[in-house]
Homo-oligomer: A and B are copies of this chain.
Amino acid sequence: MHEISDFLDAGDAKSAAMALAELHPSDIADLLEQADEDRRELLIALLRPQFDAEILAYLSIDLRDEVVERLEPKALAAAVAELDTDDAIDVIQDLDEDAQQSILSNLPPEARALVEEGLTYPEYSAGRLMGRQFVSVPEFWTVGGLLDYLRAAATSDKSELPEQFYDIFVVDPMHRVIGSVPLSRVLRAKRGVKLADILHEDIHRIPVTMDQEEVARLFRNYGLVSAPVVDKGGRLLGVITVDDVVDVIEEEAEADMLAMGGVGEDDLYRAVLSTARSRFRWLAFNVVTALISATVINQFTTTIAHVVALAALMPIVASMGGNAGTQALTVAVRALATKELTTSNAARVIGKEVLVGLMNGMALAGIVGGITYFWFGHSIIGLVIAGAMIINLICAGLFGGLIPFLLDRMKIDPAVASGVFLTMITDVVGFLSFLGLATLFLL
């Protein structure tokens, strides 16, 4: 990959194009992502004559739009038509409306029908993930019959065998899934063995509308490599393979992490203006909560004017509450995502957070109270900050666990929204308890 940069630096486009042709689509996607804008334009120009649409599947969404814009609609459609239906859907679904239509209208009718049908399934559902090519055979077949069928299909021109497959699906005459046979089982069996005798019946049939997160959990929990996707009647519609699921797992984990940090997807490749705009929404929310805290503090100006040291100390209480709350919140958000936090153990988990808050609150109260006492030589201020610290850390534990749980029950993504509410609470409680106690005991 480095040599391509070298070739381009040297202006040797021909060698660069040859080296590009040798690369795996995911490596080309990496190259495009690493490049600055000029370099990217150059690379796309080199790729254009024989563009492999699989590159798009590996690109982050913003870059995908950019690359699609730079390609001819017809050439692009031709490239997309080469993809498996599930990959084609994956590439098309995230493009903007115009780009989608321009590709769809240039696709061959058959591929277009398959893609359009796939797009009718809800976003993030099994229907969008599944491949339409699979091997399904009737129950009464033998291993020998299966082998003959596969060998014949492989040499036939109109073969509908997928490039790679891991399980043979056994279906009844209504095309309902009876079971599956892993290939390694087929290979071990003698020709005369009936598939009915070696199939696994106890397999995971994935409803076509199942959410992709749920699909990923099934694959992970049961170590699946491929699984049949079925309609309501149990009929085989498609197959999800583990490579699709690996992407889902990465995406879901990434989405949660970015959401908790207050950013949307794919931020790295967006232009400055659009990044700033998308992040601004989160900041605007936070301005509101910061103003609420300011209002709280503003109620205590008499107290602060009386003992100015309070102004220096009050952010400590608020920020330690925020930190402790974020710890509880992170654990809760993650546990909700992995379905480890449920209604059945919520009270226990949140109760534990309150206790943890109490314990760390007491520990910090001792430390910060002591430092304050030595710093300002004023024992009451030390006691006030210690008391406020304990109050705020208990609240931090309580709400750090409770907020994500409640949001989740209200079908709001806890990763996105929990942070704002939590900070508001720990700031308000922090300032209120500290300045309130100070007003009581110092004035």
A341 CB within 8 Å of chain B:
yes
Within 8 A of B (CB), among A226-262: 242-243, 245-247, 249-250, 253-254, 256-258, 260-262
With A161-B188, A268-B340: A283-B364 Cβ-Cβ less than 8 Å: yes
Q: Are A298 and B294 closer than 8 Å at their CB atoms?
A: no
Bound CA span A220–B243, Å: 7
With an 8 A cutoff between CB atoms, is A125 at the interface?
Answer: no
**B312 and A290 contacting across the interface, CB-CB below 8 Å:** no
- A431, closest chain B residue (CB): B315
Inter-subunit contact A222/B26 (CB<8 Å) = yes
Q: Which of A304-347 contact B (CB under 8 A)?
A: 304-305, 308-316, 318-320, 323-324, 326-327, 329-331, 334-335, 338, 340-342, 344-345
Q: A147 and B323: CB pair below 8 A?
A: no
A interface residue numbers (CB < 8 A to B): 24, 26-27, 30, 33-34, 36, 58, 60, 146-147, 150-151, 153-154, 161-166, 182-184, 186-190, 219-225, 242-243, 245-247, 249-250, 253-254, 256-258, 260-263, 267-268, 272-273, 275-276, 279-280, 282-284, 286-287, 290-291, 293-295, 297-298, 301, 304-305, 308-316, 318-320, 323-324, 326-327, 329-331, 334-335, 338, 340-342, 344-345, 348-349, 352, 355-356, 359-360, 363-364, 367-368, 371, 423, 427, 431
Q: Lowest 9 A-B CB distances belong to which pairs?
A: A261-B330, A253-B253, A154-B188, A183-B183, A297-B312, A223-B243, A26-B221, A311-B311, A276-B359
CA distance A70 to B212 in the complex (A): 37
How many identical subunits does the complex contain? Answer: 2
Tell me the complex Cα distance, A293–B153, Å.
72
Collect the chain B residues with CB atoms within 8 Å of residue A189's CB.
Answer: 151, 154
Contact across chains for B253 and A242 when beta carbons are under 8 A apart: no
When the two chains form their complex, are residues A330 and B245 in contact, meaning their CB atoms are under 8 A apart? no
Sample (8) of A-B pairs whose CB atoms are under 8 Å apart: A253-B254, A253-B257, A254-B334, A276-B359, A297-B311, A305-B308, A311-B311, A315-B431
Please judge, given known A-B contacts A189-B151, A326-B261, whether A301 and B311 are in contact too, CB under 8 Å: yes
CB distance from A50 to the nearest CB of B (A): 19
Q: Given contacts A258-B331, A330-B260, is CB(A319)–CB(B188) below 8 Å?
A: no
Whether the pair A34, B256 counts as a contact (CB closer than 8 A) is no
Q: Taking A26-B222, A183-B187, A257-B260 as contacts, is the C-beta distance between A304 and B311 under 8 angstroms?
A: yes
Question: In the complex the two chains form, what is the Cα distance from A244 to B434 in whole Å?
Answer: 50
Cβ B250 vs Cβ A356 within 8 A: no
Q: Give complex CA distance A234, B166 in Å.
A: 27
Smallest CB gap from A33: residue in B: B340
Known pairs A154-B189, A223-B246, A257-B257; list 12 more (Cβ under 8 Å). Answer: A154-B188, A166-B166, A249-B253, A258-B331, A261-B327, A275-B356, A282-B327, A286-B320, A294-B313, A294-B316, A298-B309, A298-B312
